[in-house]
Amino acid sequence: MSIDITMPALSPTMEEGNLAKWLIKVGDRIEPGQVIAEIETDKATMEVEAVDEGVVAELLVPAGAEGVKVNTPIARLSGDAPPSSSPLVGEVSPKATEGGRVNAPDIAHTPSVALRATAPPSRGSMETTPGPDPRLSTSSSQGSLRIAASPLAKRMALQLGIDLSGLKGSGPGGRIVKADIEAVRGRAAPSSEGRALALAPAAQVPAQHKTLEQMGVLPGSYDLVPLDLMRKTIARRMTESFRDIPHFPLTIDLEIDPLLKARADINKRFAEQGVKISVNDLIIKACALALMREPRANASYTPDGLALHHHADIAVAVAIDGGLITPIVRAAETKGLAAISAEMADLAERARNRKLKPEEFQGGTFSLSNMGMHGIKSFSSIPNEPHGCIMSVGAGEKRPIVKNDALAIATMMSVTLTCDHRVVDGAIGASFLKAFRGFIEDPMAMLL
Note the pLDDT tens digit of each residue in 266-324. Answer: 999 999 999 999 999 999 999 999 999 999 999 999 999 999 999 999 999 999 887 88
Mean pLDDT throughout 19-48?
85
Quick one: 232 exposed, middle or buried, by C-beta within 10 A (0-12, 13-18, 19+)? middle
pLDDT of residue 87: 37
Long-range contacts of 177-180 (CB under 8 A, 24+ apart): 177/91, 177/149, 177/150, 177/152, 177/153, 178/91, 178/108, 178/150, 178/152, 178/153, 180/153
Q: Does the structure show a pLDDT above 70 at 60?
A: yes
Write out pLDDT tens, residues 183-217: 776 554 444 444 443 443 433 444 567 888 888 99
pLDDT of residue 93: 36
Q: Does the structure show a pLDDT above 80 at 238?
A: yes
Pick 248 or 80 by higher pLDDT: 248
Query: 6-39 burial string, b = 16+ CB within 10 Å, else e?
Result: bbbbbbebbbbbbbbebebeeeeebeeeebbbbb
CA distance readout (Å), 411 to 255, 259, 439:
6, 10, 16
pLDDT of residue 21: 87
pLDDT of residue 10: 78
pLDDT of residue 185: 63
Class of domain 134-197 (CATH, top level): few secondary structures
Mean pLDDT throughout 145-168?
73
421 is catalytic: yes
Write out pLDDT tens, residues 108-142: 333 333 455 544 444 333 333 334 444 444 433 33
Pick 65 or 155 by higher pLDDT: 65
- Give pTM, 2 decimals: 0.61
d(CA 345, CA 138): 46
pLDDT of residue 138: 41
Are 132 and 49 contacting, i.e. CB atoms less than 8 angstroms apart?
no
Are 313 and 364 contacting, i.e. CB atoms less than 8 angstroms apart?
yes
Report the candidate in 382, 387, 333 with the shortest Cα–Cα distance to residue 365.
387
CATH number corresponding to 2-123? 2.40.50.100
pLDDT of residue 264: 96
Write out pLDDT tens, residues 315-331: 999 998 878 899 999 99
Pick 79 or 70 by higher pLDDT: 70
Numbered ranges of CATH 4.10.320.10 in the chain:
134-197
pLDDT of residue 119: 45
Mean pLDDT throughout 40-49?
79
Mean pLDDT of all residues belonging to the chain? 80
pLDDT of residue 92: 35
Report the candidate in 284, 339, 354 with the shortest Cα–Cα distance to residue 313.
284
Numbered ranges of CATH 2.40.50.100 in the chain:
2-123
**Hey, which of 72-81, 179-188, 236-245, 371-380 has the most confident mean pLDDT?**
371-380
pLDDT of residue 422: 96
Numbered ranges of CATH 3.30.559.10 in the chain:
232-447
Dihedral of CA 336/339/342/348: which sign?
negative
CATH number corresponding to 232-447? 3.30.559.10
Of the residues 247, 311, 387, 421, which is catalytic?
A: 421
